[in-house]
Every structure is written in structure tokens, then in C-alpha cells.
Structure 1
Amino acid sequence: MSQGISEDVIYCNINRREQVKGVKHMYENADRVKGLEVKREIENTRIKKDLQTQNAGGDALWNRFYRLAAVCLGLLCVLLLTAITVLWIKFNNLTIGKKQLQTNYTNLTIERDQLQTSNTNLTIERDQLQTSNTNLTIERDQLQTSYTNLTVERDQLQTSVTNLTAEKKQLQIEREEVLRGLLVLGWHYFNSSLYSITTVKNSWSGSRQACQSKGADLVIINSRKEQDYINKTFLRTEAWIGLTDIQTEGVWKWVDGSALTTEFWWPGEPNDYGNEDCALTGFKYSTSDTLTWADAPCGHIAVGLCERKF
């Protein structure tokens, strides 16, 4: 047991020495640590001062940087706003310009269509005018040819007229000679007919035969001029004319079978007094220069008025 206590005392002493060493070592370490901490604090203080100095300079630099960045950002915002405004104005202008261009395009399209239609119409008119010009050219050439031919014919006709004029003058001379000869033979010329009066009084049929023997017939009077000429030329001599109603009473006809249309009866004539079926002119009881006809019996004795037509 004493051995055990001795061992415990030894152990306790060893342990106490170790604890003293440990405490000593701990104090030494604490001093070291304390020294290190002081050094560390001094170093930290120095670093803090350096950092504070650096931070002070850095804050000023950052402040200047922030201000510059803010100014730049503001300028960028102003520029951006200006750019947006300018772009908006340009956009509006472009929109208006687009609308105007669209309207101009529409108007130009309409004008183009109108011009195309006008061009088509003008082309048709041009072709028609070209055709008309061609036709007119052909007609002009034909007219020119006709004009040339007519000029030749005119010259020929002019020559013929000259010749005919000369022949006419010659014929007039010969006609006058013939008329003078006819007057000698008792014939008178008027309006393409020769008139003569028989020298022997006879009945209506006998006077007609006398006229026919001369190549004539009893006169047919168709106009006032002819009636006046006969009365003037033959001095209202009572003479038979080629008018009778012997076939049908009241229906007077000329010797050529034509109906009576122009009449120069003395008032009251014809009256068919005593079967009067033949007509004469120069009625002795007439006081008119024109109305000198009367009906008489066909056997009445009078000269005959002959007419020869040409």
C-alpha cells in the first residue's frame, strides 16, 4: 500500500512538474501570443491607416468616376431622347411621304391606264386615218386620172363646140335661107313646127287631106304661145284646126288621138248647134285676141291650118 502511495506521490510530483512546465510554457506562449498580438495590432493599425488612406483616395476617385458616369449617362439619355425624337419625326415624315407616294402611285397608275387607253384609241384613230389616207390617195389618183381624161375630153369638146358653133352659124344661115324659101312657099316656122294655110276653102276632112298632101296635118295647138302666134301670123283667119268630137259627142280629141287639155273656146262655144262636130279658129264673131275657137258643122267651107312637125 505504501508502494502504491509512493507511486501516487511520484506520479503526482511528476504530474505537478509537468503542470508547472505546462503553465510556464503557457505563460511563455501567452507572452509570445501577446507580443504577436501587439505586433499584429500595430500591423493592423498601420494597415488600417494605409487602407483608410487608400480608401479615402479611392472614394474620391470613385466619386469622380460615378459623377463622370452619371454625366455621361445623362448625356447619353439626352442624345438617346434626341435621337428618338429625330427618328420619330423622320418616321412621321416617312409615313406621310409613304402615304403621299402611295397616293401618287395610285394617281400615276390611273394616269397610266388613262394614257394606255388614250394610246390605244389614238392607235386605232391613227390606223383609221392611215386607211383613210390610203383611200384618199387612191381616190386622188383616180380623180387625177379622171381630171386628165376630162381635160382631154374638155379640149375635144371645146374643139367640137368650136366646130359646132361654126356649123351652127352655117346652119342658121342655111335655115334663114330655107325659111325665106318656105315663106315663099307659104310656110311659117315656130317652135320646131312649120305652119301654112290652104289656099282653097274646103270641108274639115277636105282641108285635112290638103294638109296631108303636103306632108302635114291639121294643126294641134298645145299652148297659149302657139295660139297667139297662129292668130298673129294668119291674121285671125277663120280656118279649120285638127280638133273634133265626131267619134263621141262632147269628147274632143286632136287628129293624133290625144285628148284636149288646153282650150281657147270663145265663150258659149262649143254649143253643137246644128250638129257641129269640128273645130275652127279665128271665129268671126270672137272679139278676143286669144279665145277664138268655135265648133262648126264638119261640112262647113273654110281654109285649113296645116302643121308639119320636126
Structure 2
Amino acid sequence: MEKALLSNLTSIHLLPAKSHVVKRSPRSPCCPGGWTKYGHRCFFFNSTVASWADAEKLLVHGANLASVHSIREYQKIQRLTAHYGYPQIWIGGTDAPQEGIWLWSDGTSFHYSHWCPGEPNNFHNQHCIQMNYGGSKCWDDVWCDAHLPSVCAKKV
């Protein structure tokens, strides 16, 4: 019996000790340096002035010109642009494929808008959205070849 007990004790002694590693919860996604997180997206102000199409092409990190889905998101973007001192900027809205049907360049649905009174008016074929227009800081459709800075966004 003692030999069997000793054999069992030796076997127990040779088993690896239990690990006391604490499992960490997955890291919450974060934004690249210079980007601002809001909700499930990161926003970036690009001070390079460009046409709407060129601004969309300049983007990095899997981003598009920003789509806007609520007044809070709009206000967050406004604070971001105010920090850099630029009034009008590009966001990702366009009706270039079909007049009056506004789309976001990131493919999300266009269910929120903040148009200025009388806008969009398609004055001489205006198909892209600038935000922070005029005293009301609202949206205006403008010619897509105008040169403005932009705000882009990506999901995290």
C-alpha cells in the first residue's frame, strides 16, 4: 500500500502546476494615431484641399469620406473641424449617379441629413455635400470639383 501511495504521490508531484494566468478580455478596438473615436467609428480630418473625388481617393486605413447618421455624429465632426479652423469641408454624400438620390460613399444608407434651407438645389449640377455652410453650419450641395478639406471615417 505504501508503495502504491508513494507512486501516486510521485505522479501527482510530476504533474505541471496549474497556471494562474488571468485571461484578458479582448482589447476594445482603437483608432490609429491622429484619429478620433466616436461610437463604432474613427474620424480623421484631412486638411489637404482637393476635389470630392480626389479627397475620396486620398484616404487611407480603409476609410471613406465621412457619412453622417445622427445630429450627435454631425456635432462631433463639427467639433473636429472647428479644432482645425476650417469652415466648409467635404463629407461623403453625393447624388452624382442620379439627381436627387443621395448616397454615402461608404455604402451606408442615407437616412439623416442637415440641409440648409433651400438645399439641396442642384444649382448648375451640384452633386457633392459640403458641411458647415453659412451661419447655420448646415449642408449645401456644391460642385464636386471645388477644392475643400475633408473628414473621413472608418469602422473599428
Scaled to the shorter chain, the TM-score interval is: 0.7 to 0.9
What code does the residue aligned with 1:256 have? D
User: 1:255, CA displacement in angstroms?
Assistant: 1.2
Task: Name the CA shift for 1:278/1:268 in 2 (closer, same or farther; >3 Å).
Answer: same
Does residue 242 (structure 1) correspond to residue 87 (structure 2)? The answer is: no
**Counterpart secondary structure, 1:264:** coil
Give the one of 218, 221, 225 matched to 2:65: 218
Q: Is the 8 A contact 2:45 2:80 kept in 1?
A: no
Measured after TM superposition, the shift of residue 263 of structure 1 is 1.0
Q: Deviations over 1:98-132 (max 9, x none)?
A: xxxxxxxxxxxxxxxxxxxxxxxxxxxxxxxxxxx
2-side partners of 1:197 and 1:258: how far apart? 20
Per-residue deviation, 1:171:
4.6
1:229 counterpart SS class: helix
Give the drift of 1:258: 4.1
Match of 2:105 among 235, 251, 255: 255
**Which residue of structure 2 lines up, in the alignment, with residue 199 of structure 1?**
47
Q: Deviations over 1:129-184 (max 9, x none)?
A: xxxxxxxxxxxxxxxxxxxxxxxxxxxxxxxxxx56xx36x957xx7xx66x72xx
Code of the aligned partner of 2:61: K
8 Å CA contact 1:220, 1:242 repeated in 2: yes
Paired residue secondary structure (1:214)? coil
Match for residue 141 of structure 2? 295
Asked whether the equivalents of residues 64 and 106 of structure 2 are also in contact (C-alpha less than 8 Å), the reply is no
Q: Distance in 2 between matches of 1:199 and 1:256?
A: 20
Aligned to 1:232: 79
SS of the residue 2:129 aligns to: strand
TM-score between the two structures when normalised by the length of structure 2: 0.74
Are 1:246 and 1:278, in contact at CA under 8 Å, matched by a contact in 2? Answer: yes
Q: Which has the higher contact order (CA 8 A, sep 6+)?
A: 2
Show the counterpart of 2:10: none
- Paired with 2:97 and 2:110, the residues of 1 have a C-alpha distance of 14
Task: Quote how far apart the aligned CAs of 1:237 are.
Answer: 3.3
The alignment's C-alpha RMSD in Å is: 2.3
Identity %: 27
2:67/2:108 contact within 8 Å kept = no
In 2, Cα distance between equivalents of 1:187 and 1:229: 12
**Shift in alpha-carbon separation, 1:250–1:223, aligned structure 2, 3 A:** same
Higher strand share: 2
Rg bigger for which structure?
A: 1
Q: What code does the residue aligned with 2:35 have?
A: W
Cα drift, residue 187 of structure 1: 1.0
Q: Partner of 1:225: helix, strand, or coil?
A: helix
CA contact (8 A) 1:202 1:300 kept: yes
Aligned amino acid, residue 297 of structure 1: W
5+ long unaligned stretches in structure 1: 1-162
Looking at secondary structure, tell me which structure has more helix per residue: 1
Residue 257 of structure 1 deviates from its aligned partner by 3.5
CA contact (8 A) 1:252 1:259 kept: no
- Specify the alignment match of 1:271 in structure 2: 121
Contact 1:203 1:300 in 2 (8 A): yes
Secondary structure of the residue aligned to 1:241 is: strand
5+ residue gaps, structure 2: 1-21
Deviations 1:263-310 (A, max 9, x none): 111111111112100111111x1x235xx1110000000012110112
Q: For residues 208-256 of structure 1, what are the alpha-carbon distances to aligned partners after superposition, in whole Å with 9 as ceiling and x for unaligned?
A: 0111x33211111111111111112221631111110001111111113
**TM-score computed with the length of structure 1 as normaliser:** 0.39
